[in-house]
Amino acid sequence: MLLSGTPALNRATELYTQLEALLPAEMPSFVKFAERYCVKETQRFGTKVAVKWGDAKRVTELNGLLVGSVMIRRLKKDVLDQLPPKRRMRVPLDPEKMDQDLLREVERRVAKLGPDTVGSLGDSAELFKLTAQAKLGAVLDYVQHLLSLGLKFLIFGHHRSTLDAVESKVRQLKASSIRIDGQTAPAARPALVAQFQEDSAIRVAVLSITAAGSGLTLTAAQTVVFAELYWVPGQMMQAEDRAHRIGQRDCVTVQYLVARGTLDETLYRTLEKKSLSVNGILNGCRTGLDASRQTLESAAAESARGARVPDEPTVAPAEPRQAEVSTPRAAKRARLALDDVDADLT
């Protein structure tokens, strides 16, 4: 028995090892599985060519295979029917508050690579870091705005320089905070979580997306802010749900701070595309982030209103309902397809 709320964080190929463990006699080779359910992409690195398995295909068929054979899936709406809704916002940052020289350099590099690609891994990592540096002034200005509204919130980042700057800004504004990142010892985390949950004077939790995005309960906050985006939707969803989990009584507002003309826009499109695939595979319903576009002022105002929601908020499903599938038939078709990867049964 395998237990996981997130069997696939990013793409269909992540399911293969689990399926092979549960159905060893029925699973084909990894390559055949990938050819059946993933779009094959090739990337050139000088004279070398690398194969990458990207976006999912035959999504309904793969969902039928999972549901009809090994997967029992329960969404929050099935087991936590009183959990208030989660709302996502895409918040464009003020370019005037950014580093203009860095911003122009980032825009130049993004334009050179094209709107739908982030180039090689080296280009991506460097652009990712430059984007964080370029938008940092605007991010810190927004943090100050949230604190001025009296909010208690989580703020996630990826680069140490971003986390350091946010922590320093909060301290400069005479507000109390906790910080959990990759250098925080596991033994120290429960005490930090308890401080944030129990002490109303602690206003901000400064968190790493990858190191603090799972395993923590931080329901004392109703606002979750992403100072940086990350290209793995499963990790972003896990991070959001540090506040949106059992024990939460108020609507949770999730804000993605996006800098126009930077890698943020490409990352957001990537998150949207991957979310559609992963949700289609696991839930039988292709849904994306569904983030509304907001101005800085309206996003902050909505967060402030959300922090004062009445004791009986309107309850709405936080996740899409799973589409109905004819389970035995879909599973049978999927198994037949695995025997002959060239056959198109969808």
Residue-by-residue pLDDT tens, the chain, 346 positions: 898 888 988 889 999 999 999 999 999 999 999 999 999 988 777 788 888 888 889 999 999 999 999 999 988 777 777 888 899 999 999 989 999 999 889 888 888 776 555 545 456 788 899 999 999 999 999 999 999 999 999 999 999 999 999 999 999 999 999 999 999 999 999 999 999 999 999 999 999 999 998 889 999 999 999 999 998 888 999 999 999 998 898 999 999 999 988 889 888 888 888 888 888 999 888 887 776 666 666 666 666 666 443 333 333 333 433 333 333 444 444 444 444 433 333 2
Give CA–CA dist 188/161, Å, rounded: 22
Query: Are 86 and 171 in a shared domain?
Result: yes
Domains in the chain, number: 2
CATH at residue 277? 3.40.50.300
Same domain, 182 and 55: no
Q: Are residues 46 and 160 in the same domain?
A: no
Q: Are residues 274 and 149 in the same domain?
A: yes
Q: Is-contact 214 237, C-beta < 8 A?
A: no
Please tell me the distance from the alpha carbon of residue 252 to that of residue 88, in angstroms, as a whole number.
9
175 assigned to some structural domain: yes
Same domain, 244 and 333: no
C-alpha count within 13 angstroms, C-beta hemisphere, residue 41:
10
| Residue 293 lies inside a defined structural domain of this protein | yes
**Pairing mode, strands 38-45 and 48-56:** antiparallel
Domain with 167 in it: 80-97+135-306
Quick check: helix, strand or coil at residue 86? strand
Are both 225 and 273 inside the same structural domain? yes
Q: Are 149 and 241 found together in one domain?
A: yes
Do both 271 and 329 map to the same domain? no
Q: Residue 154 burial (CB < 10 Å; 0-12/13-18/19+)?
A: buried
Residue 243: inside a domain, yes or no? yes
Q: Based on the domain organization, do 301 and 328 belong to the same domain?
A: no
Same domain for 290 and 148: yes
In a domain, 315, yes or no: no
Give residue 50's Cα distance to chain centre: 26
